Structure formats: C-alpha cells, structure tokens
C-alpha cells in the first residue's frame, strides 16, 4: 500500500494546473463589442494604450487575463455612458497608478525614464567621438 502514495502525490501535482483558471464568468462587456462602431473605435483606441497589470507587456486589448477583461468591460461601459476617453484614463490612473498607462506623464518620478534614451545617445556619441579622435 505504501507504494501508492507517490503515485497519488504525482497525480495530485499534475491536476493542480486544472484549477488555475478562474471559474467566474467574464465581465459583461469584456469580450463583446459595443453596438455603435464609433464608440467601439474610441474604446479600442483607449484599450490599446492601457497596460495589463497582470501581463505587464501587453495592452488590455490584447491580454486574456481576467483583470484585463474587467478593465475592457469598464472602458466599454463608460464609453457607452458617454464618458470621454481622457476621463476614463484619468480614473484608471488614479485607481492603478501611472504604470497602467503605456505613456506615463513626465514628473519627478518618471523624468529619468523619458530622459534615459537621450542620455544614452549623448553618452554613445561622446564615446564614438573619443574613439575616433584616438585613431587619428
């Protein structure tokens, strides 16, 4: 009988991923487009600029995460209610922080993020200029 314990433990470990998916139904408008094409275009444009907080590298328009579905539904509901995309973006930034946006604002916490490419280009140019001077 003791030899069945490892088999049972192995079967239990293999079945754990089956419970990883949510059993909750998707949000009301998570995967359903709005009937008005103009409103859906506004919602889609906004969703492509918002970061999925679970996937981190995908927009909420592309992500299959449950939280992204909830955020898509929220965006569509607010667009359908007549709210502007800027107001919805402001709400989501207030709720989740600047990180939810693929284009965070320039302020004292993000200035280095925006300045880094320029700083790297200047440093690279100085390095190349120094090397060229040494060769001559």
**38 in any annotated domain:** yes
**39 in any annotated domain:** yes
Is 110 in the same domain as 100? no
Give per-residue pLDDT as tens, 23-74.
666 667 778 888 999 999 999 999 999 999 898 789 999 988 888 999 999 9
Is 111 in the same domain as 50? no
Radius of gyration of the chain (CA): 24
Helix or strand or coil: residue 109? coil
Is 47 in the same domain as 87? yes
Give per-residue pLDDT as tens, 76-95.
999 999 999 999 999 999 99
Domain range enclosing 135: 106-136
Q: How far apart are CA 108 and CA 106, in angstroms?
A: 7
Neighbours of 127 (CB within 10 A): 10
Q: What pLDDT, on the 0 to 100 scale, is given for residue 20?
A: 58
Is 71 in the same domain as 33? yes
Using 50, 70 and 90 to split pLDDT, how confident is the model at 22?
low
Is 58 in the same domain as 114? no
Q: How far apart are CA 95 and CA 126, in angstroms?
A: 42
Domain count, the chain: 2
């Amino acid at each position: 009988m003791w030899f069945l314990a490892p088999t049972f433990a192995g079967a239990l470990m293999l079945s754990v991923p089956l419970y990883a998916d949510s059993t909750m139904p998707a949000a009301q408008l998570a995967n359903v487009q709005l009937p008005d094409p103009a409103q859906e275009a506004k919602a889609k444009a906004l969703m492509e600029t918002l970061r999925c907080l679970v996937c981190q590298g995908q927009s909420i328009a592309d992500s299959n995460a449950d939280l992204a579905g909830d955020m898509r539904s929220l965006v569509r509901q607010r667009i359908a209610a007549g709210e502007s995309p800027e107001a919805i973006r402001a709400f989501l930034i207030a709720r989740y922080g600047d990180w939810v946006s693929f284009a965070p604002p320039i302020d004292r916490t993000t200035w280095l993020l925006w300045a880094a490419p320029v700083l790297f280009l200047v440093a690279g140019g100085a390095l190349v200029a120094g090397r060229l001077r040494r060769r001559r």
